[in-house]
Amino acid sequence: MPRLFLCLTLIACLSPGLVSAAPVRVAVASNFATTLQLLGQAFTAQTGHRLLISPGSTGKHFAQIANGAAFDVFLAADAERPALLEARGVGVPGSRFAYAEGRLVLLAPGADPGRDPREYLAAGGFRRLAIANPRLAPYGLAARQLLEGWRLWGELQHKLVSGENVAQAFQFVATGNAEAGLVALSQIRSMSSDAGATHWILPSRLHAPISQHALLLRQGDAAEAFIGYLRSDAAADILRAAGYQVPKRP
């Protein structure tokens, strides 16, 4: 019996599924958290590795990682902060790449969908317009650039309510604390089909591209496997369905 038990133990320990299964600690931009959950489910089913997801603003994650926070992968909402980390020697050299490009939308539940979005904003028939913090969140910066391009930034200052990140900006609208918001298309895609909320996909030429970059922070089989999966065709299909554009791969 002891010999049989020893044999079974060795077989279990040498099983690829058990040996390779390990968590991947991912610091992810709040706008991408729901999509990452979908990617994580497919990745776990394929490899056995699971993701430990920590959503938040890209600015805050950057500060945490720069101060030694124990993450394996950084999925930012911009290109700047992963590049800064890489330049400081944080992360695996040469591992940074664009994994998705976000789209900015104007969400205005109850508004007439036939209206022009610029005209809707210029009319100002709302008490509050929610945006992410432009200093911390790339979607907030894109929102500011768009409003400046439409010459509405100064005019709407007294109506703006700023969330720490785009997830909080979306919550302001979802809870009725703001009648409209400049948020992410991926958030609209994740809404229930009966939400009935009016939204407009806004011209990307009016703001800098919301190019979202990934950085491998620590080498390891599980983390490297996830980076590989993120660049796969299967992941690209999930990204497009979630409202992201997929950057061209080299």
Alpha carbon distance 135, 247 (integer Å): 25
Specify the pLDDT at position 182. Answer: 97
In angstroms, the Cα distances linking 115 to 119, 159, 160, 199 are 7, 20, 21, 10
| Residue 220 and residue 130 in contact, taking contact as beta carbons nearer than 8 Å | no
Select from 98, 26, 24 the least CA-distant residue to 55. Answer: 26
| Residue 81 and residue 58 in contact, taking contact as beta carbons nearer than 8 Å | yes
Measure the N-to-C terminal CA separation of the chain; round to a whole number of Å: 56
Specify the pLDDT at position 31. Answer: 85
Q: pTM of this prediction?
A: 0.78
Alpha carbon distance 22, 218 (integer Å): 14
Q: How confident is the prediction for the chain on average, in pLDDT?
A: 89
Alpha carbon distance 77, 142 (integer Å): 11
Arithmetic mean of pLDDT, 120-135: 95
DSSP per position, 74-96: EE-SSSHHHHHHHHTT-S-TT--
Specify the pLDDT at position 4. Answer: 39
Per-residue pLDDT tens over the stretch 64-102: 999 999 999 999 989 999 999 999 999 999 999 999 999
Token couple for 116: 């022009």
Select from 219, 212, 197, 182 the least CA-distant residue to 94. Answer: 219
| Residue 25 and residue 65 in contact, taking contact as beta carbons nearer than 8 Å | no
Arithmetic mean of pLDDT, 122-149: 94
Specify the pLDDT at position 165. Answer: 87
Arithmetic mean of pLDDT, 40-44: 97
Chain-centre distance of CA 100, in angstroms?
9
Alpha carbon distance 60, 71 (integer Å): 13
